[in-house]
Amino acid sequence: MATIFIDNIPYQVQDGQNLLSACLSLGFNIPYFCWHPAMHAVGACRMCAVKQFRDENDTRGSIVMSCMTPATDGTRISIEDDDVREFRAGVIEFLMINHPHDCPVCDEGGECHLQDMTVMSGHVYRRYRFKKRTYLNQNLGPFINHEMNRCIQCYRCVRFYRDYCGGRDFNVFGAHERIYFGRCADGTLENEFSGNLVEVCPTGVFTDKTLRKHYTRKWDLQTAPSVCPHCGLGCNTIVGERYGSVRRILNRYNHEVNGYFLCDRGRFGYEFVNGSNRVLQPIIRDSSNNSKNSNQPVQETEVLEHLAKIWRSSKGIIGLGSPRATLEANFSLRSLVGPENFYLGMSEPESKMISRIIQVLRSGPVHSPSLREVELCDAVLILGEDVTNSAPRLALSLRQSVRQKSMEIADRLKIPRWADAAVRQAVQSKKGPLFILSPFATKLDDIATETLRIDPNDIARFGFQVAHEINHEAPEVADLQPNLKELAIRIAAALKQASMPLVVSGTGSGTLSVINAAANVAWALSDKGEKAGLFYTVPECNSLGLGLMGGGSLRECFEKVNSDSVDTLVILENDLYRRAPAEMVESILRKCKHTIVIDHLFSKTIQKAEVVFPCGTFAETTGSFVNSEGRVQRLYRAMPETGEILESHNWILEIIKTVKPDATDHLLNIDSICESITREFSIFKPLLELAPSSQFRAIGQKIPRQSHRFSGRTSMSANISVHEPKPPDDSESPLSFSMEGYPGIPPSSLIQRFWAPGWNSGQSVNKFQSEINGPLLGGDPGKRLIEPSTGNKWNYFSDIPEANGHRDKEWLALPKFHIFGSEELSRFGASISERAPKPYVGISSQDADLLDKKEGEKVSLVIDNVLLNLPAHIINSLPRGVIALPVGISNLDGIELPAWARIVENSNG
């Protein structure tokens, strides 16, 4: 700790950080632009000036940039000194010279850092009387709107896009007062994290193009804390709603998870919520008449009565859960049908992989790091995962981890790590070890030390060997090629040398033995006394939660149905056609007399259902997800109940009330569901401390979802009634759907928006943190459920798979994920679907030559008796004999990969 004097008053601060973060941590307001808590200081904007004094006798002092000056013991500064205040006002005056002053029509207005800093710095009168400069804007694709005239040249965007994310299709151009940030020409920003520009840019140059289509000011949004439903990482988000539709997603700072940044799927994937293929009313379909017109929207009571009838007549009922539904919904379903009749709605391989991951994390000695901890790892091995496409935000963290090792160079030169430009200049392009084993090129290859392109079985085999090279107690792969063995030795050495090695793997390769191999590597390291981390990606937002609850796989469910003991299927938020081959799903659905589906989008499964309950999306749901780290997190609905849409768990509670009126396990609401969950599963104990119960009140008040400036509440529904309606109830959370309520900073799990007096933009997060870049006040939300076992006995996996080898006339088909398109829900949004690939089959260039196929020419192949006719897409990085199929892209749903494919000759060429 160091004592620093701010306007002559002593304060204790963390030694060595810069004065700006020290002062902000202490609660002082110093304006800034180019500094960013995650991207640190470069000293460009000159906004954060303070006056520094040599000692107590120095009265003149000199102006320094607080972001570029270390806070060391005895540092004396003044924030309030007249001289420096004049300078700060001057800097704003400079920045406003050319600013268009178009706040009324600017999307940033009302949450603009430039507005805030202008007020904070005290610049009031315009003295500049000459012409403003102007620029042309670019079309940057479906996500980001560009308005260069508003630019204040803080260089944050280019530093974020290039330095932090590794994006290369964006830059700064020009010199002197004509500086331009953008691309060479119009075109979609390629980087998967481009959406953060919206929050990184302190003014309205880069704004959310999806928001623009249904624009609402920040203060008019009804907002709630949420968790991203689009992958297994569980990034924290803020959902903003108005007039019954989701308007945008913002990052919700969580020190341990997503920090300041989201991926573009998470930010722009919400559009499906407002889409036209939402189920809006309960449906009963006449089972005797399968024609389309028999979709009968009905009332809630009617559908529940119908369900009671089914229940009475049914000879056996099965519940199929969902890895994208909340714990609470899954558990309710499990209670409805009974544990023995509850099945995970995951495919056979997927449920095997998930339960293996859980087994490894629970019984083994290795820690599953949070995304923040990933950033601290200094050597990484990725086994079989295309992280950017399967767990995007993790890729951004890995981009920071490769910088760890090279930071030592900066440390040696005594460059503070927050002096970003100096660090990058000293370090240049030197990077710490990152090894990527995957069947095809990945977006992280540019920072990889070495990459190896092999199929999943070979990846597993190689991983086993790396583990063996680290610790000879781990089994050896006897017949590995010598060059691979050498590489394994190199990787083993690099991991052993690291102070925090990390192994990344997951379900992306669809191969259980890859998961085993990753465990072996991490265990071998930990056996050698290293502090290793093991990160498994999982496919969906609650895969791990569902896995922890346990239940049979889809195949087991199908077997049960086939055994004729069951005739009714209750399917929770699940499209079976994505989980199993269409033929199989169809036969099962035919076999069942009654299919009941609770879901929010019209899926193929819903088309076949007899009864459909319209449930809420993540934006209309309160509940909990468990992310891939094993962290359970609470999300709250941002939208009040509309029409006949209920949260899944509430539908199920209604059903329970109807069909089991005298059930003893009283599930009444989310609180009682959570209690029941913890009673039944000790691992879910932390669920009760996850967030305040629905009864929680802050000084007797609820936490308002509407801002204190919310406008139009008397006129919003004037077309229906001129009387202001009573705000909708929310009995399930301490949040209210109104602007009345507790005005202060709520408990961290209930932070519904970042705002503080004088800080209308997201930069106000600094007022919610216990220190800059640190945890939120009161600790970050979310609770880890799984910690490594210390005492347990565990054994290395020894079932080393055989090499796949080559087959004559057959190709090994592997899954290829796409950040835009592979995920089930986001792909229905307009802007995401614009970025999604069309169906294709990826083949290596050698195979393309062999088959005499050019890019785009149709290839016919048979997998699992299914004939596919797809345009060829030549992927140079694929090894021979391997083909890649895009996951989740329209007609490729439900194919289990990896699988062997036969390529059939095209008769028509």
Residues in touch with another protein (CB under 8 A): 42-47, 49, 62-64, 68, 86-87, 90-91, 94-95, 97-98, 127-130, 152-153, 155, 168-180, 183-185, 409, 413-415, 419, 421-422, 425-429
428 interacts with, out of ligand FES, another protein, none, CB within 5 to 8 A per kind: another protein
Out of 67, 84, 117, 750, the residue judged to bind ligand FES by CB under 6 A: 67
**Number of alpha carbons in the 13 Å side-chain half-sphere of residue 361:** 33
Provide the 3-class DSSP secondary structure of residue 128: coil
Rounded CA gap, 867 and 219, in Å? 53
Per-residue exposure over 755-793, b if at least 16 CB sit within 10 Å of its own CB, e if not: bbeebbbbbbbbbbbebbbebbbeebbbbbbbebeeeee
- Cβ–Cβ < 8 Å for 647, 637: yes
- Select the span of 31-39, 239-247, 534-542, 759-767 touching ligand FES (CB under 6 A): 31-39
Q: What is the dihedral of CA 739, 743, 748, 751, to 10 degrees?
A: 30
8 Å CB contact between 191 and 262: no
For residue 641, give the amino acid letter.
E
Window of 44-52, 382-390, 569-577, 664-672 that interacts with ligand FES by CB under 6 A: 44-52
Q: Which of 23, 39, 48, 494 binds ligand FES (CB under 6 A)?
A: 48
Contact 457, 803 (CB under 8 A): yes
User: Whole-number minimum distance, CB 139 to another protein, in Å?
Assistant: 15
Q: Quick one: tokens of 237?
A: 């988000």
Query: In the complex, what is the shortest distance from the CB of residue 33 to ligand FES, in angstroms, rounded to a whole number?
Result: 5
DSSP state of 687: G
The conformation of residue 756, written as its DSSP 8-state character, comes to B
Q: Among residues 160 and 272, whose Cβ is nearest to ligand FES?
A: 160
Cα–Cα distance measured from residue 659 to residue 667, given in angstroms and rounded to the nearest whole number: 13
Shortest Cβ distance from residue 95 to another protein (Å)?
6
| Residues forming a β-bridge with 902 | 810, 862
Structural contact between residues 142 and 834, judged by C-beta atoms closer than 8 angstroms: yes
What's the min distance (Å) between Cβ of 8 and ligand FES?
23
34 binds ligand FES (CB under 6 A): yes
Closest CB to ligand FES among residues 120, 566: 120
Backbone torsions φ then ψ of 686, nearest 5 degrees: -60, -15
- The Cα–Cα gap between 130 and 111 comes to 28
Which of another protein, ligand FES, none binds 292 (CB below 5-8 Å, type-dependent)? none
Rounded-to-integer distance, Cα 568 and Cα 306, Å: 13
Q: How far is the CB of 89 from ligand FES (least distance, A)?
A: 15
Residue from the set 24, 47, 263, 635 that interacts with ligand FES by CB under 6 A: 47
419 binds ligand FES (CB under 6 A): no
Q: Find the shortest distance in angstroms from Cβ 30 to ligand FES.
A: 8
Q: Which entry of another protein, ligand FES, none binds 32, CB below 5 to 8 A by partner kind?
A: ligand FES
Select from ligand FES, another protein, none the partner in contact with residue 688, using the beta carbon and a kind-dependent cut-off of 5 to 8 Å.
none
Nearer to another protein, 189 or 262 (CB): 189
Query: Residues binding ligand FES: what is the number (CB under 6 A)?
Result: 13
Nearer to another protein, 425 or 890 (CB): 425
For the bound state, the minimum distance from the C-beta of residue 38 to another protein, rounded and expressed in Å, comes to 19
Q: 61 or 692, CB closer to another protein?
A: 61
What DSSP string describes 623-658? EEEE-TTSEEEEE--SS---TT-B-HHHHHHHHHHH
In the complex, what is the shortest distance from the CB of residue 422 to another protein, in angstroms, rounded to a whole number?
Answer: 5
Among positions 22, 24, 29, 32, the unique one binding ligand FES when judged by CB under 6 A:
32
- CB closer to ligand FES out of 45 and 601: 45
For residue 173, report the phi and psi dihedrals to the nearest 5 degrees: -125, 160
- Answer for which of 6, 37, 39, 46 binds ligand FES (CB under 6 A) is 46
Q: C-alpha 132: how far from its chain's center?
A: 40
Helix (H) or strand (E) holding 805: none
Least Å distance, CB 47 to ligand FES, is 5
Of the pair 48, 500, the CB lying nearest ligand FES is at: 48
**Residue 169, binding choice from another protein, ligand FES, none, Cβ under 5 to 8 Å by partner class:** another protein
Q: Within 837-856, which residues bind ligand FES (CB under 6 A)?
A: none
Nearer CB in complex with another protein: 414/793: 414
Partner interacting with residue 592 (select from another protein, ligand FES, none; CB below 5-8 Å by kind): none
| 49 vs 283, beta carbon nearer another protein | 49
Instruction: Determine if 151 is a binding residue for ligand FES (CB under 6 A).
Output: no
Using the rule CB under 6 A, is 517 a contact of ligand FES? no
Decide which of another protein, ligand FES, none touches 219; Cβ closer than 5 to 8 Å per partner kind. Answer: none
Alpha carbons 70 and 78: distance in angstroms, whole number: 15
35 binds ligand FES (CB under 6 A): yes
Q: Residue 150: which of 96, 109, 205 has the closest Cα?
A: 205
Rounded to a whole number of angstroms, the minimum distance from the CB of residue 882 to another protein is: 26
Residue placing its CB nearer to another protein in the complex, 128 or 900 = 128
List the single partner that 67 binds among another protein, ligand FES, none, CB under 5 to 8 Å by kind: ligand FES
Q: Whole-angstrom Cα distance, residue 406 to residue 287?
A: 66
* Min dist. Cβ of residue 26 to another protein (A): 23
Find the distance separating the first CA and the last CA of the chain, reported in whole Å: 74
- Closer of 43 and 774 to another protein (Cβ): 43
> Which residue shows structure tokens 């920003």?
189
Q: What SS3 state is found at 841? A: strand
- Binding to ligand FES by residue 33, rule CB under 6 A? yes
Among another protein, ligand FES, none, the one that 48 touches (CB under a kind-dependent 5 to 8 A) is: ligand FES
Q: Which one, of 879, 881, 878, 862, lies nearest residue 870 by Cα?
A: 862
- Residue 413 interaction partner, one of another protein, ligand FES, none, beta carbon < 5-8 Å per kind: another protein
For the chain, what is the radius of gyration of the CA atoms?
28
Evaluate whether 567 touches 559 at the Cβ level (below 8 Å): no
Question: Cα separation of 286 and 293, whole Å?
Answer: 10
* Nearest to ligand FES of 65, 357 (CB atom): 65
Work out how close the CB of 113 gets to another protein at its nearest, in angstroms, rounded to a whole number.
15
Nearest to 319 by CA among 31, 560, 128: 560
The answer to whether residue 45 forms part of the interface with ligand FES (CB under 6 A) is yes
- Residue 44 binds ligand FES (CB under 6 A): yes
- 635 closest CA partner among 620, 624, 649: 624
Please state, in angstroms and rounded to a whole number, the distance separating the CA atoms of residues 282 and 612: 5
C-alpha 263/C-alpha 550 separation (Å) is 30
Q: Which helix (H) or strand (E) holds 452?
A: strand 450-453
The answer to whether residues 477 and 489 touch, using CB atoms and an 8 Å cutoff, is no
Query: In this structure, are residues 418 and 432 in contact, taking their beta carbons and an 8 Å threshold?
Result: no
Nearer to ligand FES, 90 or 747 (CB): 90
CB of residue 445 vs another protein: minimum separation in angstroms? 13
Token pair 């009671």 is found at: 308
Q: How far is the CB of 52 from another protein (least distance, A)?
A: 9
CB of 43 to ligand FES, least distance (A): 4
**CA 540 – CA 717 distance, rounded (Å):** 37
Minimum distance between the CB of residue 18 and ligand FES, rounded to whole angstroms? Answer: 8
Nearer to another protein, 184 or 663 (CB): 184
C-alpha dihedral (68, 72, 74, 75), degrees to nearest 10: 10
Interface contacts to ligand FES, rule CB under 6 A: 32-35, 41, 43-48, 65, 67
